[in-house]
Amino acid sequence: MRIVGGQYKGRVIKTCEGPGYRPATMKVRESIFSMLQARGLDFDSVRVVDMFAGSGSLGIECLSRGAPEVWFVEKAGKAAGLIRNNLKELDVDRSRTRVLVKDLFSLLSREPEAPFNLIFIDPPYGKDMLLPSLEKALNNGWVAEGGLVLAEVEASVRAPETGPVAEMELLTDREYGQTRILLWRK
C-alpha cells in the first residue's frame, strides 16, 4: 500500500492479511484526508490515536503530514509488530509514536494523559463496536474539545444518534462501495 500524501508520499507500507483486516483503499484514504484538510485540520499540531489500527495506515498518513504524536492501538500482536516495522522502515522518530498492544475497551476505560485532537475508529466489520468505542472515548476524556472523530465502518452502519454521541456534530456521512465514512466534531 502506498502512502498518499506528505513527507512519505509514494512510500510503500506493508498491510495485514487475513480475516478482519481490510486496509483503507487509496481512494478512501485520499477522501478522508481531503475531508480533514477541508475542515481546517492543521496536522502539525494534532495528537492522533488510530484505534483498531491494523497496519496503521491512517496514523502513518498523519505522521507523513506532520502530526507530532500518533498512538496506534491494536490488540493483535502480529499487526502491532507490522506497525512497528512500517514505522522503522519509514525512519519515523520513535518519540512521535506509541504502539499499544492492548484491548481498546480496557484502554478507553481510563483517562488519557491528554485528550486527542483526531481519533480514527476503524472497528472490525460485523462486530458492532463503533458505538461502544465512541461512548467510552467521549465519556473518559479521549476527545479534545473541538476534536474530530472519524469512523470507517461497513456501509450498512448508520451514524449513532444516542448518548454522548448526540452531543457531537456529524460533519460527514459518505459511502464508498462497502465502506461508510462518518466524521464528527466535538
Q: What pLDDT shows up at residue 22?
A: 57
For the chain, which domains are there? 26-185 (3.40.50.150)
pLDDT reported for residue 69: 97
Full-model pTM: 0.93
Per-residue pLDDT 10s for the chain (186 aa) are 889 999 999 898 988 765 555 566 678 889 999 999 999 999 999 999 999 999 899 999 999 999 999 999 999 999 999 999 999 999 999 999 999 999 999 999 999 999 999 999 999 888 889 999 999 999 999 999 999 999 999 999 999 888 888 889 999 999 988 899 999 999
Residue 58 confidence (pLDDT): 95
Buried b (16+ CB within 10 A) or exposed e, 74-103: bbbeebbebbbebbeebebeeeebebbbee
What are the residues whose beta carbons fall under 8 Å from the beta carbon of 166, sequence distance 6 or more?
Answer: none
Report in angstroms the alpha-carbon separations of 70 from 20, 45, 62, 129, 171.
23, 11, 8, 22, 23
Strand, coil or helix: 93: coil
Neighbour tally for 46: CB within 10 Å: 21
Residue 18 has a pLDDT of 58
